[in-house]
Structure 1
Amino acid sequence: SFDNLFATYEPAAGQSVANLLSRGIVNKDGGPGPRFAEAAQRQATVRDRYSVTPPTGAAFTVLPQPSTNYAKDVPHYALDTRFPADLPNGPFRITRYAPYTAAVGDPVHRFFQMWQQIDGGKKDLFTWVGLTSGEGSRKRDDPLSSTNQGGIAMGFYSMSHGDAPYFRELAQNFAIADNYHQSVMGGTGANFVALSTGYAAVYLSGAKPAVPPSSQIENPDPRVGTDNWYTHSGYRSGSYVACADAMQPGVKTIRDYLATLPYKVFKDGNCAPGSYYLVNNYDTGYGFDGTPKELGSAKFVVPPQVAPNIGTALEKANVSWKWYSGGRIGGAINKDLYCSICDPLTHSTAVMTTLLRRNLQGVDALFRDLDDEQTLPAVSFVIPPNPESGHPAYSTVAALERFVMQLVTKAKANPAIWSKTAILVTTDEGGGYYDSGYVQILDFFGDGTRVPLIAISPFAKRGYVDHTYYDHASLLKFIEHNWRLTVLSEESRDNLPNPEMTAADPYVPANRPAVGDLLNLFRF
């Protein structure tokens, strides 16, 4: 999340930033600040039916000790003894206890869980949801087992202590946004689909909406006799939801919440009757040769998708583009390096059954293309190899910094390329980490928490902190503005207007729902 990385960032004179330090939640030393209690995590109760705003009770006395879950280089699924068992109830500096280059546990970050974590804007259930929803347990069918989460979601890195030095340098010399958000509540797969289509993937059969196997439909209602242990969820389980049907588990509470908002959400929630939408992570829909993968109750893959996407839109406009993914090696993959759920155009029939699939290449190809402006496409999407992705547990922020530094250094080394380039660095989602920022609910799917965005370019405003409201649709709007493209579809969020931001509340658009186009980060 933004606070996980920029918690103690101090901008240049004349600029302001909304983070844990500026809000007084933490001090510059990373310890509790005068308004620390504003981030206190509370306990709640859900016994009969899933709720996005469950009845809350007492605050935790101390944070539960963080767990390692599957973090590299430490014992798996155990209490992380690097951290004390009596952390104060609120955000804590990770590097007070663990080296900056060390991996830590992976907080839960899935769709229905994040809706609960945000708790109607109070953001006080990150820890409780991690402990109770069942995600992270090695015995998913045993509600008495541990979720291996603890209080890890409340951890942050501290630039005032030297953490993330390269990202701090980039923020000082270029521009950042402190109001940029993941598009979908939850995790990686759905957010990459949103990044490429402005919408969500749908379960299809013969290119038409269909009902997925029951084993693949989400049910966040608590199991009988439990407090919030989801009935049907998990990476090899539920990921689809028919969000136009209030009778479906988990749907009514979200739609009821949308109805309480002081503005009308996009397209009444943006859910078509009879459609089951992917809200979590499933594997690629096609093989690399363009052959669709087999579907079935135990086949956790995305059916071939027919929705317009940014690749096909660029192609239609004769704008060159590529999607570079770490771990792609020619027509094969290195499974340790490749993130299949980060490669959303592999779901697209229009890409995978045509020569457009040649545009899906490896990161090695990117660094070759950067040698010559004639080979580098106009628009590039770049996904680091897994070990350099910054993802909790199997990567680190330090590793992501090294990758970004390598990319920026390579681009700047070629003046012909650098003189007309904008590099936009962000993350697909916040990793399940706590964030103190405002979240604008646009439709049934999100937005979710803030995530970092750094604009690196000779045109970026130096040291600028942009408060305009953005999410991943803003990247689409930026591309569409620059290359004069139309919106992707009737359902895509690039239809939303640019925000009208006011001094009275510089983070909340006056014309909600609205998302910006990133142009305020630059002087073109």
Structure 2
Amino acid sequence: MLSMATQVVAPAAFAAHPLGTNDLNTRTPIKHVIVIYGENRSFDHLFATYKSPSGDSVMNVLSEGIINQDGTPGPNFSKATQYQASDTNGYSVSPSKTQPYSVLPPPLAGGHQYASDSSPPPFATIQAAENADYGLLPRDIRLLTTGATGLKPGTVDTRVLNATSLPPGPFQLTPGVPYDAYAASPVHRYYQARQQSDCDASKATEMNPSGCQQDLFPWVEVTVGTGSNGKSQPAGFNDQTTGEGSASMGFYNVAQGDMPYFKKLADEYAISDNYHQPAMGGTGLDSIMAGFADAIWYTDGKGNPATPPTNQIENPDPQSGTNNYYTQDGYSGGSYSECSDSNQPGVGSVISYLQALPKKVAPNCDPGHYYLLNNYNPGYFGNGTVDTKDTYAIPPVPTDSIGNVLLNSSVSFRWYGEGYNAYVQDPASPT
């Protein structure tokens, strides 16, 4: 996450956007805070080799000696060794490790094989890209036409150097996978993230108070990926079935010129090397936490807690006869948990871990409330009407958002999203 603090500018600059009466009533000279979120990627995925131009310390895999500045394994590479594990009975946040990987499962290709105007992205022509885009500057439209993989999705990403013989830790994506190219997206869902982090209270130390070992990332990707959606594990299941491989271990190298725009922002403004997201889980949960500073729960549409449909309740217990292939989880499956009840699938293991920490952590879940842990669609359309048709939309909730708090305090704010104005006019528009 990058943030920028700016001094107050002339009121004339905001003539088209009325100020709140308390906008300029601040305790510091900082009058505006801009927060930029980079979705679905960790700090080290982007800033693995970043060094502060001012000499400030930065905690990343370069400073930890896990990799060298040229992206090759460093003297402490073994600290990032990834393991295989076994979880065949009930869900565990720290399943039994069996052995380290000798080589990583190969990363798999993600994104479209070819550019196409009929099934983008990327687009085949500038004209089609211009017609579809609402946010980019004209000079950047060309970026919507680049990045096709040339590879069938779900096959070994041969653009990565030595893709089938990678050592069991972080690997550099570039130059084979250019920064503007499409690549597989690593799983980012709640119960998967818990397992990938491999948090064990008995391993907690002063320097690592969580006891998280961060050593099961590829294993979770290849055993369950983004979830089962309640379906049985496919026949012939292997390390390529989920379509991810070891996508989570790839990184870009800013020391070699990757990500020039993000690096420029990091150089000139504030960057956090010890913060990834407000909650473990996907875009939906983290957007909610960023917008509400709280979790939200399933309602009857009138502000009362209710029980979601059965297929929308999380069950990360492994299916019978499988190693960690969840029973009910996915973008069209489980996404809610009643996290005050340790008898609910997955919940008991999380609560046991939190309560075993040297400083116990309470789950802070209200009884009878099913909290959203993963991605769902907004409950309201951009024009303010309630979405009553989408099975996987969030029902209206009574929780106050940060926007409510700011407006009640007469402080203005703005939210920017590409294509939002068009969405307000036509919520059904695919763009």
Q: Any idea what the Cα deviations from partners look like across 1:7-51, whole Å, max 9, x if unmatched?
A: 001123542110111000000110000000111110000011000
Aligned-partner residue type, residue 141 of structure 1: S
Deviation at 1:88, TM superposition (A): 1.2
Per-residue CA deviation, residues 156-210 of structure 1 (Å, 9 max, x unaligned), is 0101111012222232233322112301112100101100111112000121101
Aligned to 2:164: 85
> For 1:134-173, what aligned pairs fall within 5 Å after superposition?
134-135=225-226, 140-143=231-234, 144-145=236-237, 146-173=241-268
Task: Choose between structure 1 and 2: higher helix proportion.
Answer: 1
State the AA in 2 paired with 1:269: P
Query: Which secondary structure does the structure 2 equivalent of 1:105 belong to?
Result: coil
Cα deviation, residue 134, structure 1:
4.5
For residue 81 of structure 1, what is the amino acid of its counterpart? T
The whole-number CA distance in structure 2 between the counterparts of 1:327 and 1:14 is: 39
Change (3 A) 1:131 1:170: same
Give how far 1:288 is off: 3.5
Residues 166-315 of structure 1 aligned to structure 2 (within 5 Å): 166-205=261-300, 206-265=302-361, 268-294=362-388, 299-315=391-407
In the other structure, the counterpart of 1:30 is 71
> Residues 136 and 148 of structure 1 are in contact (CA less than 8 Å); yes or no, is this contact kept in structure 2?
no
The answer to whether the 8 A contact 1:115-1:185 is kept is yes
Q: How does 1:45-60 map to 2 (within 5 A)?
A: 45-60=86-101
**Residues 489-519 of structure 1, C-alpha deviation per residue, up to 9 Å, x if partnerless?**
xxxxxxxxxxxxxxxxxxxxxxxxxxxxxxx
Q: Determine if the alignment matches structure 1 residue 76 to structure 2 residue 130.
A: no
Q: 1:4 aligns with which of 40, 45, 49?
A: 45
| Identity score, percent | 45
Q: Which residue of 2 aligns with 1:367?
A: none
Q: Distance in 1 between matches of 2:363 and 2:89?
A: 25
Residue in 2 that maps onto 1:19? 60
- d(CA) in 1 for partners of 2:429, 2:181: 22
Partner of 1:112: 191
Q: Distance in 2 between matches of 1:116 and 1:136?
A: 13
RCO greater where, 1 or 2, for CA within 8 Å and sep 6 or more? 1
The number of residues matched between the two structures is 333
User: Structure 1: how far apart are the matches of 2:299 and 2:376?
Assistant: 14
Give the SS at the match of 2:311: helix
**Greater alpha carbon shift after TM alignment, 282-291 vs 195-204:** 282-291
What is the Cα deviation at residue 304 of structure 1?
Answer: 0.4
Check conservation: 2:377, 2:392, Cα contact below 8 A.
yes
Distance 1:251 1:136, change over 3 A: closer
Q: CA deviation at 1:333?
A: 4.9
Higher alpha-carbon Rg: 2
Paired with 1:62 and 1:336, the residues of 2 have a C-alpha distance of: 41
- Superposed CA RMSD in Å reads 2.0
Going from structure 1 to structure 2, the CA distance change for 1:3 and 1:272 (only over 3 Å counts) comes to same
Match of 2:415, SS state, is strand
> Match of 1:307, SS?
coil
Check the 8 A contact 2:295/2:371 in 1, yes or no: yes
Partner of 2:214: 123
In structure 1, what is the Cα distance between the partners aligned to 2:273 and 2:189?
23
Query: In 1, distance between residues paired with 2:180 and 2:85?
Result: 35
Partner SS state of residue 322, structure 1: coil
Q: After superposition, what is the alpha-carbon deviation per residue over 1:334-375, rounded to whole angstroms, capped at 9, x for unaligned?
A: 8555xxxxxxxxxxxxxxxxxxxxxxxxxxxxxxxxxxxxxx
Q: Which residue of 1 aligns with 2:117?
A: none
| 2:195 counterpart letter in structure 1 | Q
TM score, norm. by length of structure 2:
0.74
For structure 1, the residue ranges without an aligned partner over 5 or more in a row are 338-524
